[in-house]
Structure 1
């Protein structure tokens, strides 16, 4: 829901930074993988109980690196594999954070964490399935920036997910409650996307 608004704010500075990095030999895939490493380290810190450091790394990996890799790709030339790698790394990071909370306290967080991962799985399936059909039908959109895949708008998108992760890292005791709420909103997003697909592709 917030991704479109955020693109208008961050695209210009990210593109400028991306051109600067590309001119000095940086590659989009290297930034993507570096962002994943930071994201997985942040999940490890959540598991270990170092929430303050985890917040900083979540923001570095998910917002800075995830934005810069696309900017560098636009400066150097996009590739299909780069877009593929980007979405794979995004989903790996999204799954690692709930897993970290489950590992941190399985008794308290286990059921809520499993539900959150289930909701991510269903939401991701509707997102990727829609992108495949959109490609098949020649649909294009730039409302979420210049992407390798077709990005459908939804109630819960990347920005909302990162805000949720930051809140969880700051207040880990709220994980069960926030996981149930956010998971339910992800499932609502998935249902809405299925309904949209039924109208457009049936």
Structure 2
């Protein structure tokens, strides 16, 4: 819901930084993998019981996630680069809730399982919608220039990062926050499926 507004603010400085990284020989795929590594480091830090400290690699990973597209635009965008980016994103999105479960299975296990199920459902609705949009030739750049169709929803990347930051700052409230956010993920996916039914029913 907030991605299109966030992109207007962050794209100009990201594009400038991306040009600089491209000029220093960085490829978009290498920036994607660096971002994934930082995200997994954040997850490990959370699992070891230091969620506030995890904010540093977590936020750096999201910076890298924005920079890989900027580097691609400064050099050459590829279909594989877009594929690698979304795969890395989904691994990161799953690793953070899992880290909180590992940190305290008794308190966080049920809520973490619910959240991961919601992420799985929401991610499937997102990727399935992108396949249909590609089949019908639909395009959008509301969330910036992407390699695949980014359908909007109640929860998008911006909301998820804010949620992860809140989890790190208020880790003792993981369970209620996860139940709430997971429920909104289910709602987002359901509304996306309803929208697809309206557009793509032959």
| Bucket of the pairwise TM-score, normalised by the shorter protein | over 0.9
Partner Cα distance (1:157, 1:146) in 2: 15
Partner Cα distance (2:143, 2:65) in 1: 13
Partner Cα distance (1:29, 1:56) in 2: 22
Structure 1 residue 143 corresponds to structure 2 residue 142: yes
- Quote the residue 2:129 is aligned against: 130
Instruction: Report matched runs for 1:87-126 at 5 Å.
Output: 87-126=86-125
1:52 Cα offset (Å): 2.1
Partner Cα distance (2:156, 2:28) in 1: 22
Deviations 1:68-102 (A, max 9, x none): 00000001110000000000000000000010011
Number of residue-to-residue matches in the alignment? 201
- Quote the residue 2:4 is aligned against: 4
Deviations 1:7-47 (A, max 9, x none): 00011111111111111111000000000000000001011
- Quote the residue 2:173 is aligned against: 174
- Quote the residue 1:22 is aligned against: 22
Instruction: Report matched runs for 1:180-195 at 5 Å.
Output: 180-195=179-194
Partner Cα distance (1:13, 1:108) in 2: 40
- Please, what TM-score do these two structures have when normalized by structure 2? 0.98
Partner Cα distance (2:136, 2:76) in 1: 24
1:190 Cα offset (Å): 0.2
Partner Cα distance (2:108, 2:51) in 1: 16
1:178 Cα offset (Å): 0.2
Partner Cα distance (1:52, 1:105) in 2: 15
Partner Cα distance (1:106, 1:53) in 2: 20
- Quote the residue 1:37 is aligned against: 37
Unaligned runs of 5+ in 1: none
- Please, what TM-score do these two structures have when normalized by structure 1? 0.98
Partner Cα distance (2:21, 2:168) in 1: 30
Partner Cα distance (2:51, 2:181) in 1: 19
- What SS does the aligned partner of 2:155 have? coil
Partner Cα distance (2:111, 2:50) in 1: 21
Partner Cα distance (2:130, 2:28) in 1: 22
- Quote the residue 1:157 is aligned against: 156
1:57 Cα offset (Å): 1.3
Partner Cα distance (2:92, 2:134) in 1: 25
Partner Cα distance (2:102, 2:34) in 1: 24
- Quote the residue 2:47 is aligned against: 47
Deviations 1:171-190 (A, max 9, x none): 11000000000000000000
- Quote the residue 1:67 is aligned against: 66
